[in-house]
Amino acid sequence: MEGLIVEPSRTYQKLLSSAIASGGLGTRQVSTGAEALKLLEQQSFDLIFIAMHLQDMDAPKFSSQLRADARTKQIPLVMVTSNEDKKLLDEAVSAGITEIFAKHELNKITSYTAHFSKKKNNFKYSGRILYIEENSATTATTTDILREAGYTVDHYANGEEGIIAFQQINYDLVLADILLKGKLHGQGMIKALRQSEDNSKKYIPLLVFSVLNDTTHKVELLRLGANDYITKPLVEEELLVRVNNLITSKKLLDKAVTEQSCLQESALRDPLTGLYNRFFINETASARFREAARHSIPYSLIKINIDQLLTIKKRDSTIGDQIMKAVAALLTGSVRKEDVSARYQEEDFVILLSHCNITNAFSIAEKIRQSIEKLKPAGYDITASFGVAEIQPDLAEELPELCRATTEAIQQAQLAGGNKVIARSL
C-alpha cells in the first residue's frame, strides 16, 4: 500500500511522511495539484493527504477533479490544514474531502493511517457469489477483484446455466450483466430468479449491471426484483461496497429468520424433555383430525402416565425430572416420523398415531410399556399405565374427547395395580 502527499512545504512533507509511515503506510510526495493528478494517471494510491492551499489550486478543486475521474473517485482524500474557518471546512467536505486534520495533529494522523492500513490489509469479505457475464475480459477482472477480497465466485457465461446453478447451490448474492446472449437475459433472467419454487431463494440479493445508464431502464429492473444496479465500467471500490452491503443485509436477514424459527420451535417444545408441548399437540390434532375425516384415515391416541412418579417426585424432584427425560427419549425412538410425541401434562405423555387403528395402537403401547418396565432411569424401577383410543370416521371427535377416554383408561389401569394398557372405545 502507498499514500500520496500533496504539500507545498518540503519541511512539512517530511513531518507528514514520518507520521504516515508510523501508521504503516509508505508515501510519495509532490508539491502541486497538477503533479499529483499526473502521477495518479501513472500509478494508483490507496490514500491521499493534501494541503488546503496549493500553488495551483486548493484542496476542494483538486477533490472535484479527483472525483470526476472513474479511476480515482473512490480514493480517500485527507485534508491537512491550519485553517479553522467552519464554512471553508464544510465546503471542502461538500467537494469530496473524506477527512480533515489540523497540521499539528500528527499523532491523530498516525492513528488514522494505522487504522486504515489495518482495515485494508486484514479485512476479508466472505460469501458465495453467482456471477453471470459473457464478456471474458470483464469476467477475468471482476472475478479477480471479488476473489481477492475473499469471496467465492461461480461464473457462468449465460443465463440458462446460471439459473441451473442458482437452483442447485445456496448463494449469498447473484451478480449479473443484463445484456446477455441467449434466450434468458435482462428482465427474463430477473423473473426466472425471483420466481424460484424454493422460497428461501426468492430473497437472495440480485445486483445487476450494464453499460446502459437510462433511469427508466434502471427503475424497471429494480421493480422486477433487482436489489441494486451498477453501471459499467465497474469501479472496484464501488463494486465491493455494493456487494458487501447486499451480502451483509442478506446474512442479517438469514440470522433473524433463524432466530425467529428457533423461538417458534422453542415455544412449541417442552423445555424439560424436548418433546412437543400441549399447545402444539392441540393445534396439530385439529388439522390431522379434519384430514382423517375427509379421507377416512384411522388415527389413534396413546396416553401414558408413570405409575410411581408422584411418589418419587415427593422424595426428590430432580430424580423425577430424570425419569421424565428418560421416558421422553424412549418415546422418541419408539414412534414413526409421521407420529407426534408430546408432554401433555406434568406427569403425562401422549402419542398421536396417524394411519393407525386401535388394534395397532394397542400393540405399540404394549411394546412401549415393556420397554419402560426395563428402563430403570436413575436406578429406579418404574412402570407406566396406558390409555388407548381411536377416532371414529363417522363422528366429530376432537382431542379433548380422546384425552378424556384415554384418561379414564389410565385410571382403570392404575386401579387394577398399574403397568397395564387399556383401550377405550368412544
- CATH number, domain of 410, equals 3.30.70.270
Domain interval for residue 202: 128-262
Q: pLDDT tens digits for 314-365?
A: 888 899 999 999 999 999 999 998 999 999 988 899 999 999 999 999 999 9
Same-domain check for residues 102 and 151: no
Same-domain check for residues 410 and 286: yes
pLDDT of residue 124: 66
In a domain, 270, yes or no: no
Same-domain check for residues 189 and 64: no
pLDDT of residue 228: 92
Q: pLDDT tens digits for 258-315?
A: 888 778 777 889 999 999 999 998 888 888 888 888 888 889 999 999 998 988 888 8
Distance CA 392, CA 352 (A): 15
Same-domain check for residues 335 and 360: yes
- CATH number, domain of 204, equals 3.40.50.2300
pLDDT of residue 196: 80
Confidence tier at 221 by pLDDT (50, 70, 90): confident
Beta strands in 96-205 (DSSP E): 99-102, 128-132, 152-156, 173-177
The model carries a pTM of: 0.52
Q: pLDDT tens digits for 1-33?
A: 899 999 999 999 999 999 999 888 999 999 999
pLDDT of residue 401: 87
With 60 as the cut, is the pLDDT of residue 397 above it? no
Confidence tier at 395 by pLDDT (50, 70, 90): low
Out of 122, 137, 152, a domain closes at 122
Same-domain check for residues 169 and 99: no
In a domain, 268, yes or no: no
Q: pLDDT tens digits for 24-69?
A: 899 999 999 999 999 999 998 999 999 999 999 999 999 999 999 8
Same-domain check for residues 241 and 327: no
The three grid cell numbers given for residue 177, joined into one nine-digit string: 450483466
Cα 179 from chain centroid (whole Å) = 30
- For residue 97, give the nearest of 77, 70, 125 by alpha carbon: 77
Same-domain check for residues 367 and 418: yes
Cα 396 from chain centroid (whole Å) = 44
DSSP code per residue over 313-361: HHH-HHHHHHHHHHHHHHHHTTS-TTSEEEE-SSSEEEEEEET--HHHH
What domain count does the chain have? 3
